[in-house]
């Protein structure tokens, strides 16, 4: 009996030792997790430690240790770990360890186990930026991944921001961010969105740190502000810095823009004499600065194409204009500089402009630093600022669409940088006007000719269909009008008027069973081509403001020819809805016994509204959807 007791005691002791060793850090196990962190979460950042040491103007070390517990397959992306490197950035340490839910090690990855590839964007001819990465494929959930790295860089123009909450459905148990400044170079900090979060800050002459803990996962909400505008962030910049060996100093946008102009842009606009002579002839009959600019812009579109080359400081300095002229290609910096040089040759002043493209995001007007991901061209004119997207071969002159509209940008002049705002397209400019002639037949079939004319941002949202194959064009319209069963697309004629920035679609369609027969009557929906399909979710408690990013106006007018032997019964009264979000009207009127006219108007107003207004907007759109699909009865004569 005593031997059995001793044996059990030894086994339990060994088991406890093994468990204690494997689980000495409770962050490595995923069995006992705080329910406030698991609720609504796909993953939990158990711990994140980022330490950035500024050693000199051209020496910076970044140490990272991150522990993430992944709860389900939707959280796998948070376990994928990587570090970038280049001739100016060296990876000194790189490793990862995967643990199962009990904290038992599954696999350890050393630096040599990480895959290596170019940071290719699919359009770069050459790029010397590379990443080492690994993608862990789990067998079970949950699991925990520990990632550690140390990177040394001679470029100090970019200092990693602190953004502890990177995504929705991600909880944060603990995140620490520390700046060590042994160089004693002055550092600027920009702290945003701290008010609603328990951020702890500690600042001394040589060290600044931020920490946050126990943050539950946020759920996404439709029509909400950007996550960056709602969660804590710290931007950091040195007053003296180095960019791929080019030293600089700046404390505001004026001095930053001056450095960028002098060191990265100036002196790169020389053109061959024969090219200048060609441009002289091209604009000889142009009467205004705007006419000259338009002719030169279209010349660049016809001559060049977008290809990126990102090598060292060349990733930040534009190609020489004469090289673009000879080669016929370049990236956004090169093509913008080339267009600027051609305009300069004709006395038309223009300015290289840095912008965040695609998702609307402002250059931070209160914090000068390396920002932006794209370059466009600004031409100040007497009546308005002109904005040119120099990388596109299809975009009309002075039309930037929703790619770079309505946001703060950095305009770089010889005197320095200045913040401007790009064009805002007002709802009344963003017009989609749809007209149609519809023929209904006794056998329930329908045929129609449809004309859609798009302007403003509606042009931007529709004109790319012309570049699809005929087959894909037909598939697009069948999906767009997918609520019409058995729809067939016939002839399609598309016209792109770049001078007026107007896109016209003429489409012939047919359907064998549009009307529904009920007894001797036929039921039809007069709104054939503009039914609102939006479905907005209902929230018990909306947490974020309602953001409608862009407004627009849609108008419709159809002539509907009734089947032989049928006439309209009682027609519904005109319906109108007016709210702070816009206006809607729906009307069916009788022309004679054989024809009806359908008219629809919808205006959506952009803006930011209190969260309490969301339900009102949802009901507004729901009512529109309900009215849009309503039917009328046709009765036999």
Q: What is the pLDDT of residue 314?
A: 57
- State whether residue 425 is helix, strand or coil: coil
Whole-angstrom distance, CA of residue 65 vs CA of residue 145: 11
3-state helix, strand, coil in the chain (%, to 5): 25, 40, 35
The three-state secondary structure class of 479 is helix
Residue 230 has a pLDDT of: 97
Q: Which two tokens stand for residue 383?
A: 């009546």
CA distance 163 to 167: 10
User: Do strands 308-310 and 124-127 pair parallel, antiparallel, or not at all (unpaired)?
Assistant: parallel
Please report the domains of the chain, with CATH numbers, ordered by start residue: 26-243 (2.60.40.3140), 260-421 (3.10.620.30), 427-636 (2.60.120.1130)
Residues of the chain with confidence (pLDDT) below 50: 1-24, 121-126, 312
Specify the pTM: 0.92
Cis peptide, bond prior to residue 250, ω within 30 of zero? no
Q: What is the pLDDT of residue 309?
A: 66
| DSSP β-ladder status, 552-561 and 595-604 | antiparallel
Question: For residues 149, 152, 158 and 164, what is the CA-based torsion angle, rounded to 10 degrees?
Answer: 20
Nearest Cα neighbor of 341 from 316, 321, 317 is 321
Whole-number mean pLDDT of the chain?
Answer: 93
Which of 417, 411, 412 minimizes the C-alpha distance to 265?
412
Q: Supply φ then ψ for residue 239, to 5 degrees.
A: -75, -25
Query: Distance (Å, rounded) from C-alpha 502 to C-alpha 454?
Result: 6
What's the token pair of residue 191?
């702290």
**pLDDT at 157 (0 to 100):** 96
Distance (Å) of CA 85 to CA 52, 128, 311, 317, 457:
16, 9, 12, 19, 39
Nearest C-alpha neighbor of 22 from the set 140, 96, 101, 86:
101
- The CA distance from 301 to 71, in Å, is 49
Please provide the distance, in angstroms rounded to a whole number, between the alpha carbons at the two ends of the chain. Answer: 104
Q: Residue 121 has what pLDDT?
A: 47
């Amino acid at each position: 009996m005593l031997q059995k007791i001793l044996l059990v005691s030894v086994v339990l002791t060994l088991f406890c030792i093994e468990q204690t060793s494997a689980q000495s850090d409770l962050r490595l196990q995923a069995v006992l997790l705080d329910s406030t962190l698991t609720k609504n979460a796909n993953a939990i950042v158990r711990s994140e430690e980022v330490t950035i040491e500024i050693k000199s103007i051209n020496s910076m070390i970044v140490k990272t240790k991150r522990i993430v517990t992944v709860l389900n397959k939707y959280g796998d992306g948070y376990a994928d770990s990587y570090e970038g490197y280049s001739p100016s950035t060296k990876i000194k340490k790189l490793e990862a360890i995967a643990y199962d839910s009990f904290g038992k090690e599954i696999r350890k990855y050393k630096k040599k186990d990480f895959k290596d590839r170019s940071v290719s964007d699919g359009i770069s001819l050459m790029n010397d930026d590379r990443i080492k990465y690994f993608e862990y494929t789990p067998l079970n959930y949950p699991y925990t991944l520990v990632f550690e790295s140390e990177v040394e860089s001679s470029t100090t123009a970019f200092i990693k921001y602190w953004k502890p909450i990177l995504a929705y459905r991600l909880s944060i148990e603990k995140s620490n961010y520390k700046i060590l400044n042994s160089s004693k170079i002055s550092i600027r900090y920009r702290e945003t969105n701290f008010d609603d979060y328990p951020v702890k800050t500690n600042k001394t002459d040589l060290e600044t740190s931020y920490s946050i803990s126990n943050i539950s996962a946020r759920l996404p909400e439709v029509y909400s502000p950007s996550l960056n505008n709602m969660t804590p962030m710290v931007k950091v910049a040195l007053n003296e810095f180095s960019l791929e060996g080019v030293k600089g100093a700046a404390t505001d946008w004026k001095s930053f823009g001056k450095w960028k102009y002098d060191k990265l842009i100036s002196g790169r606009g020389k053109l061959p004499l024969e090219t200048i002579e060609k441009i002289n002839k091209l604009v000889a009959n142009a009467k205004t600065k705007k006419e000259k600019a338009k002719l030169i812009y279209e010349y660049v579109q016809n001559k060049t194409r977008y290809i990126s080359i990102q090598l060292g400081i060349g990733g930040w300095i534009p190609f020489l204009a004469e090289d673009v002229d000879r080669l016929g290609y370049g990236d956004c910096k090169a093509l913008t500089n080339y267009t600027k040089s051609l305009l300069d040759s004709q006395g038309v002043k223009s300015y290289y402009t840095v912008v965040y493209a695609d998702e609307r995001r402002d250059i931070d007007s209160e914090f000068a630093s390396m920002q932006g991901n794209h370059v466009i061209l600004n031409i100040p004119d007497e009546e308005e600022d002109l904005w040119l997207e120099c990388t596109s071969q299809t975009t009309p002159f002075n039309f930037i669409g929703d790619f770079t509209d309505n946001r703060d940008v950095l305009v770089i002049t010889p005197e320095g940088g200045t913040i401007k705002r790009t064009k805002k397209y007002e709802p009344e400019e963003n017009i989609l006007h749809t007209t149609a002639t519809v023929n209904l037949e006794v056998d329930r079939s329908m045929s129609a000719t449809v004309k859609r004319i798009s302007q403003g941002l509606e042009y931007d949202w529709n004109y790319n269909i012309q570049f699809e194959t005929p087959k894909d064009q037909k598939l697009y319209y069948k999906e767009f009008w997918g609520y019409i069963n058995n729809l067939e697309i016939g002839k399609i004629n598309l016209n792109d008027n770049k001078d007026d920035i107007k896109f016209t679609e003429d489409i012939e369609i047919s359907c064998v069973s549009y009307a529904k027969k009920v007894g001797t009557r036929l039921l039809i929906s007069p709104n054939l081509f503009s039914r609102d399909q939006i479905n907005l979710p209902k929230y018990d408690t909306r947490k974020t403001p309602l953001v409608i990013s862009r407004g627009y106006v849609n108008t419709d007018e159809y002539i509907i020819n009734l089947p032989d032997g049928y006439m309209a019964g009682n027609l519904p009264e005109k319906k109108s809805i007016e709210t702070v979000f816009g206006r809607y009207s729906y009307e069916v009127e009788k022309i004679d016994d054989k024809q009806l006219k359908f008219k629809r108007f919808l205006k959506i107003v952009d803006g930011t509204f209190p969260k309490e207004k969301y339900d009102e907007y949802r009901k507004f759109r729901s009512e529109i959807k309900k009215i849009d699909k309503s039917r009328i009865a046709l009765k036999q004569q």
